Amino acid sequence: MDIRVLGCSGGIGGPDNRTTSLLVDHDILIDCGTGAGVLSFEQLLAIDHVFITHSHLDHIALLPLLVDTVGDFRKQPITVHASEETVRIMRSHIFNWLVWPDFTAIPDRDHPFLRLQPLSVGETIELGQRRITAVPALHAVPAVGYQLTGPQGSLVFSGDTTLCDALVDALNAIPDLRYFIVETAFPDAQHDLALAARHLCPSMLRVLLDRLTGEPEVFITHLKPGSVNEITAELQAGFGRLRPGFLRNDQVFSL
C-alpha cells in the first residue's frame, strides 16, 4: 500500500498550499481537500472510495467537483465513507440541490454517481490487503481519524483533533504502528484559539506524544499558512523521545 500526500496545508495561497488529501494506491482518497485537484482526469476516474474525517470545507472542498467530473464516466458510484454525523451534514448542507446536486439520486437512486456509507469508530473496511479503520478524534464537529494497515504495518492520520484520550488509547493499542500523521494548526501564542477550535498547538502536541508508548515516525500536518515559521520554530524545540517531522506534498509512505 502506497500513500501519497496530495495536500497537507491548513489553508490556501500559492500552488504549494493545498488542503488535506491523501491518495492511497490509485483508487482511494483520505479526505478530498484542494490537494485532490492535482490529479488528472484519468486519475480522478480511478477513485472508487473516499474516506472523510469530518465535514469542514478544507477536507471536502473538491468532493462535490470530483463526483460531478467523473460520475457520468463510471460504471459504479464513488463510495464515500464517513461517520453517521458527517454523512448527515453532507446530505443536509452540500448534496442538497442548493449548494450542489444530490448525486445520490443522479441519474436515479438505483444507479447513483455517489454512495454515502456511514461507519463507526472502530469499524474496519477491507479493500483487498488494505484495511482502513476509523479511530477517535475530538474536533469542533463530529470527526474521526483513520488507521491504514497494509502488509508492512500501520499509519494513523489524526484528521483534525485536539487532545483526545481515546485517540491516545487507540494509538497505543496498535502493535505495528509505523507512522503517525497529526495536525498542529496553531502556534502556542494562539493556545486559547486552538482549545476553542479543538485543534492542536505545539505545547499540546508535546503532551499527546509524551503519552504514546510506541515509537512511530511522527509527521505534522495542517499548519496555518500565515503561522508556518512560528509553528516550525516551536516544533523544532524541546521535544522528547518522539521528534516530529513535517509532512510535505508528494511525500509517499509504503505499508
Residue range(s) defining the domain that contains residue 53: 2-254
**SS3 for 174?**
coil
Which CATH number belongs to the domain containing residue 219 in this structure? 3.60.15.10
Nearest in space to 116 (alpha carbons), one of 27, 69, 52, 65: 52
Q: For residue 236, is pLDDT > 90?
A: no
User: Would you place residue 240 in the very low, low, confident or very high pLDDT band (cuts 50, 70, 90)?
Assistant: confident
| Residue 41: per-residue pLDDT | 98
Return mean pLDDT, the chain. 97
User: Would you place residue 140 in the very low, low, confident or very high pLDDT band (cuts 50, 70, 90)?
Assistant: very high
**What is the count of structural domains for the chain?**
1
The pTM (predicted TM-score) of the whole model is 0.97
Q: H or E segment at 231? A: helix 228-235
User: Would you place residue 237 in the very low, low, confident or very high pLDDT band (cuts 50, 70, 90)?
Assistant: confident
Q: What is the pLDDT of residues 202-230, one digit of tens each?
A: 999 999 999 999 999 999 999 999 999 99
Measure the CA–CA gap between 47 and 157, rounded to whole angstroms. 19
Write the secondary structure of 67-130 as one string of H (helix), E (strand) and C (coil). Answer: HHHHHHHCCCCEEEEEEHHHHHHHHHHCECCCCECCCCCCEECCEECEEEEEECCCCEEEECCE
Calculate mean pLDDT across residues 47-68: 98
Q: For residue 238, is pLDDT > 80?
A: no
Q: Is residue 167 a contact partner of residue 133, using CB atoms and an 8 Å limit? A: no
Q: For residue 239, is pLDDT > 80?
A: no
